[in-house]
Amino acid sequence: MSKEKMSQEKVRPVISHLDLGAIDYPMDADGCRYDPRIRELLKRTGRRVDAGTEALAAVRMLGKKMHLMMERWADQHGLSEGRFQILVRLQHAEGNRMTMGELAEMLEVSPRTVTGLVDNLERHGLVRRVDDPDDRRSVYAELTDPGRERVKALWRDASLGQQGLTRNLAASELVQLRDICLRLIQAMNAEEAKTHATN
């Protein structure tokens, strides 16, 4: 097993056993919040407590919490998160349509998964399948008028929710958050590229 994989294996149990419920995070000596549960679990598993490990643990917890929140929110609107993501992608696509393969690639899921999601959306009249006149093997998923209306309603609700989450952060903090997240994504992409190059 590679050193990187071993490191990932050690972090997984530390974070997956944390309750993501409400907690008051204490401040460290620099006036920044930290999660005492992360520190305790790292110590208990013999790992060094360092800023990088704590930061990535916090990002992972945030991602998990946001995913759960998104699922609950989509469910309130009669959708799964996957179906919601398809509606949003189609809303922003040229002509409100994409091939099933493009959707699968964009959502990083299998074509079979996209087929199931589109089947459900089609049953509810939010999406329709359209044959590609230039390629008989390609089928487009296309947003319908009711689908467009559903997306507009979802975006209105989502923007209100986002305002609630970010209202206590200054614009400069949000810009820093965006920058840090995108830099982490770039670093992860670079690591993935290295792994693929050696395999």
25-53 tens-digit pLDDT: 999 999 999 999 999 999 999 998 899 99
Q: What is the CATH number of the domain that holds 136?
A: 1.10.10.10
- Same-domain check for residues 104 and 133: yes
**Torsion angle, alpha carbons of 159, 165, 167, 171, to 10:** -80
The position carrying tokens 């690591």 is 191
pLDDT at res. 22: 67
Shared domain for 71 and 98, answered yes or no, is no
Number of domains in the chain: 2
Residues 9 and 37 in one domain: yes
Domain match, 30 and 45 both: yes
Under 8 Å between Cβ of 82 and 112: no
Q: Do 123 and 106 reside in the same domain of the chain?
A: yes
Looking at residue 27, its pLDDT comes to 93
In a domain, 89, yes or no: yes
Query: Is the residue at 163 inside a domain?
Result: no
Identify which has the larger pLDDT, 167 or 22.
Answer: 167
Residues 2 and 69 both lie in one domain: yes
Sign of CA dihedral 86, 88, 93, 95: positive
Q: Within this chain, do residues 62 and 104 fall inside the same structural domain, yes or no?
A: no
The predicted structure's pLDDT at residue 93? 94
- Judged on CB neighbours under 10 Å (0-12, 13-18, 19+), 8 is exposed
- The answer to whether 100 touches 114, Cβ cutoff 8 Å, is yes
Looking at residue 51, its amino acid is: A
Cβ distance 115 to 100 under 8 Å?
A: yes
- pLDDT band at 2; cut points 50, 70, 90: very low
89 and 55, same structural domain? no
Same domain (yes/no): 103, 131: yes
Name the more confident of 33 and 138.
Answer: 33
Assess whether 90 and 69 both reside in one domain: no
Assess contact for 168 and 126: CB atoms under 8 A.
no
Boundary (domain end) residue, out of 29, 58, 76: 76
Element at 138 (helix H, strand E): strand 135-143
pLDDT value at residue 163: 85
Residues 4 and 66 in one domain: yes
Specify if 182 maps to a domain: no
Residues 136 and 67 in one domain: no
Q: Considering the entire predicted model, what is its pTM? A: 0.67
What is the pLDDT confidence band of residue 77, given thresholds at 50, 70 and 90?
Answer: confident
Could you tell me the residue range of the domain that residue 118 belongs to? 81-151
173, part of any domain:
no
* pLDDT higher than threshold 60 for residue 10: no
98 belongs to a structural domain: yes
* Residue 170 covered by a domain: no
Q: Residue 132 — very low, low, confident or very high, per pLDDT cuts 50/70/90?
A: confident
Q: Is residue 49 part of a domain?
A: yes
Cα–Cα dist 35/32, whole Å: 10
Q: Which pLDDT does position 21 carry in this prediction?
A: 61
Q: pLDDT > 70: what percent of the chain? A: 88
| 180 in any annotated domain | no
Last residue within a domain, chosen from 151, 177, 194: 151
Confidence of residue 168 (pLDDT cuts 50, 70, 90): very high
Strand order in the sheet with 127-132: 97-99, 135-143, 127-132
Question: What is the mean pLDDT of the segment spanning 100-112?
Answer: 91
Tell me, what's the pLDDT at 18? 57
Of these ranges, 2-6, 15-19, 137-141, the one predicted with the greatest mean pLDDT is 137-141
Which of left, alpha, beta for 127 (phi over 0: left; psi -120 to 50: alpha)? Answer: beta
Per-residue pLDDT for 147 more than 70? yes
Pairing outcome for strands 127-132 and 135-143: antiparallel
